[in-house]
Structure 1
Amino acid sequence: MCICYGHAQSCPLDPVSKKFHCVCEHNTCGESCNECCPGYHQQPWQPGTISDGNTCEKCNCHNKADDCYYNQTISELSLSLNTHGVRQGGGVCFNCQQNTAGINCETCKDGYYRPAEVSPYSDFPCVECKCDLRGSKSSVCARDNTQPGLLAGQCMCKEGFAGQQCDRCAFGYRDFPQCVRCECSLSGSINTDPCSPCICK
């Protein structure tokens, strides 16, 4: 007798091993169809019933990973996105490729960012940060548009520096890459730029 947990309709004899084996369905794997196949762990494995096959659901890794695992806490916190774009289930992708990261390989790893117009499904969604370390606090930029006040690819600039890569002086500073503060006081002059020759009121 085969034990296939309701996930197989047939159980033929294997002529090599001389054992009966389940022909697993519902994206299940294992000798007794007792586990979900790699990449199908969005929901926990359950035995099939007459009324419900309890098909194992594919994880949404945005085509950047082949496998995933189920995490109950992730499911309870609604952090995992299923293939229908709904935060339901606990699938966590691992070994994300193409410099991606995150529960669903939806963001980029440190040192890379995804431009706003690029889909996480894109073949090459993550672009390397190009922070100028003379003006940037680090080589890591904002991964996407989820950080308040920072656009994707924006580097964290030191005081006196500006630009997406922190490769120029901020308003009121001059002489890149030193970027020293300009002397002219806007409150005491008719200047609109503190770095232009100062004309007092």
Structure 2
Amino acid sequence: CQRCRPGFVGSALGGGTCLTCRSFCRHRADVCVSRAELERHRRDPRRYPLEPHLIHTWVLEGPSEAQAVCVNCQNNSVGDRCDTCRAGYFMLDGTCT
């Protein structure tokens, strides 16, 4: 019980918690993987799909917070945690407008 499942971020060691990717990504992405897994996907997207319902077929555990990257940020957000806005947008009340 020391690792997080795919679709979750964090570490269960020492009383730590596993956050859903959606929560970790500020409710702007459903999938998060480690940087190494994202590179693996980029090299062979057919073999390593990032669709939420397929991620468990090749990702064995959720990434640590330090290694997690949010995939396909929504609502004009970008960044490892969907925490900044695309060019031409600005953050207003927690939303890229």
TM-score by length of 1: 0.27
Distance verdict in 2 for CA 1:67–1:93, change over 3 Å: same
Counterpart-to-counterpart distance in 2, 1:54 and 1:90? 19
| 2:18 pairs with one of 53, 57, 78 | 57
- Report the 3-state secondary structure (helix = DSSP H, G, I; strand = E; otherwise coil) of the residue aligned with 1:93: strand
Identity, % of aligned positions: 29
- Report the 3-state secondary structure (helix = DSSP H, G, I; strand = E; otherwise coil) of the residue aligned with 1:112: coil
Q: Deviations over 1:60-85 (max 9, x none)?
A: 1000000111237xxxxxxxxxxxxx
| 2:68 pairs with one of 72, 91, 101 | 91
Q: Is contact 1:100–1:126 with CA below 8 Å preserved after alignment?
A: yes
Q: Deviations over 1:112-165 (max 9, x none)?
A: 1113xx12xxxxx011xxxxxxxxxxxxxxxxxxxxxxxxxxxxxxxxxxxxxx
| 2:96 pairs with one of 111, 115, 126 | 126
Amino acid at match of 1:89: A
Structure with larger Rg: 1
| Higher relative contact order, structure no. (Cα contacts within 8 Å, ≥ 6 residues apart) | 2
- Report the 3-state secondary structure (helix = DSSP H, G, I; strand = E; otherwise coil) of the residue aligned with 2:32: strand
Counterpart-to-counterpart distance in 2, 1:89 and 1:68? 12
Counterpart position of 1:106: 83
Q: Deviations over 1:76-110 (max 9, x none)?
A: xxxxxxxxxxxx52211010011111111111112
Aligned pairs for 1:141-156 (under 5 A) are: none
User: Higher helix fraction: Structure 1 or Structure 2?
Assistant: 2
Structure 2 stretches of 5 or more lacking a match?
A: 37-64
Amino acid at match of 1:126: C
> Which contiguous aligned blocks of 4+ residues in structure 1 show a shift greater than 3 angstroms?
52-56
Counterpart-to-counterpart distance in 2, 1:89 and 1:57? 13
Amino acid at match of 1:111: G
Distance verdict in 2 for CA 1:92–1:42, change over 3 Å: farther
TM-score by length of 2: 0.51
Counterpart-to-counterpart distance in 2, 1:91 and 1:61? 9
Q: Is contact 1:41–1:70 with CA below 8 Å preserved after alignment?
A: no
RMSD: 3.2
Alignment coverage as a number of residue pairs: 66
